[in-house]
Amino acid sequence: MKYLPLSSSFYRKNRKAFMGHMKPKSLAIFNSNDIYPVSADCVLPFEQHRDIFYLSGVDQEESILVLFPDTVESKHREILFVRKTNAHIAVWEGAKLSKEEASALSGVPTVYWLDDFKAVFQELSTQCETFYFNTNEHYRQAVETETREDRFIKWCKKHYPAHAVAKSNPILQQLRSVKDAEEIEQLQRACDITERGIRRVVSFLKPEVWEYEIEAELVHEFLRNRSKGFAYEPIIASGANANVLHYTVNNQQCKAGDLVLMDVAAEYGNYSADLTRTFPVSGTYTPRQKKVYNAVLRVKNEATKLLVPGTLWKEFHVEVGNLMTSELLGLGLLDKADVQNETPEKPAYKKYFMHGTAHHLGLNTHDYGLLHLPMEPNMVFTVEPGIYIPEEGFGVRLEDDVVIQKTGAPLNLMENIPIEIEEIESLINA
């Protein structure tokens, strides 16, 4: 791994918190992700399942974490199973974690080789009544691929049909949504790396540059700062491409007079930043572009102020919708008749602002968080309003990452990344 890991005490604290929510005589199992094939002998780069990472810090395939607070033997309260290195693996892939390294990284005192899992699990199964399975219940998930976790659940139900089952995800949704100070530091590092990439691109931007050249400049800066690269597939959308919300082909040339919308950010240590800026290709915004840009910026700034403890998700989005409606009226994109004819299911502003304003951020770009619960201090959110005008051939989106504070305005982790028109134009034309 390129990044500097968090302390083992962080992972011990997370496991303790999770076990505090478990039923008596229950056991929880967490599996690493698969390595996914492309074709022939090609595979995708490994990405660790964020739940086992959150609870152990182990960033290696074929690892299993077992938590069993009520075990007969205290050494089996927490167990890590890791892949054993052999001479062949060491030569072709590099050595895997030793038992000692896995224990030091995670703070788990008992580490076995993966080959021992079934025998140990059989012993533990006789002592417990309930298995906690780690199913994917994120509100955005639409996964068709059978995961390693899915296969384990099938196997476990087949071989241990008399055990009750429970769900890990609701516990993790609550725990992971509120960030520890160490997590916020990792997110700040991801945001700082993102800033370096943006400042590099600002000096590179000019007419006739290709979108993919901008992508290359960004990933160069991210990698040289210990990031694996982009936290998500980058969106570099010039001109009318900005009206495609998830435009990722990045294969067009940036033309003089156009805007280029960049929804790009770095990851660091598996924590994701999430940034959007919209820059003028020629170095200056036209008067119309300025009006739309400043309207989006005002919505972003006012929406940020609403992210305080106790705020409810649905109410937040209603308030942001009111802010956006006012701005769209001022821009002449909506009129009074549009507002009079709107319905709660189809508000008028959605014609020009189709997506949500904020989402949880952390180990996933769209991170865990139960949307029916009030917001709490140390939750991290994006704030990302936009106005998209296909008939005028451009769109503007602005996005920062903020941490809810106990009192006062949220902490903006991206406050040093240029966003005001005057600073952006000055930097591009320097």
Name the residue type at position 40.
Answer: A
**What count of other Cβ atoms lies within 10 Å of the Cβ of residue 417?**
21
Q: Residue 69 half-sphere exposure, CB side, CA atoms within 13 Å?
A: 14
Contact 80, 111 (CB under 8 A): yes
DSSP assignment string, 320-383: HHHHHHHHHHHTTSS-HHHHHT--SSS-GGGGT--S-S--B-SSSSS----TTSPP-TT-EEEE
Q: Which amino acid is at 268?
A: Y
Query: Under the phi-then-psi rule, with left for phi > 0, alpha for psi from -120 to 50, and beta for the rest, what region is 170?
Result: alpha
194-209 pLDDT tens trace: 999 999 999 999 999 9
- What stretches of 8-141 show up as alpha helix (H) in DSSP? 8-19, 50-56, 87-92, 99-106, 117-125
What residue has token string 């021992």?
Answer: 116
Mind listing the domains of the chain with CATH numbers? 8-177 (3.40.350.10), 181-428 (3.90.230.10)
User: Nearest to residue 359, comparing CAs of 399, 395, 319, 305?
Assistant: 399
pLDDT at 94: 84
Per-residue pLDDT, 308: 97
Residues in the chain predicted with pLDDT less than 70, given as ranges, are none
Residue 114: its pLDDT value, please? Answer: 97
Give the residue among 393, 179, 190 at the shortest CA–CA distance from 288: 393
Tens of pLDDT, residues 99-141: 999 999 999 999 999 999 999 999 999 999 999 999 999 999 8
H helix or E strand, kind and range, residue 217: helix 211-223
Cα–Cα distance, 336 to 341 (Å, whole number): 9
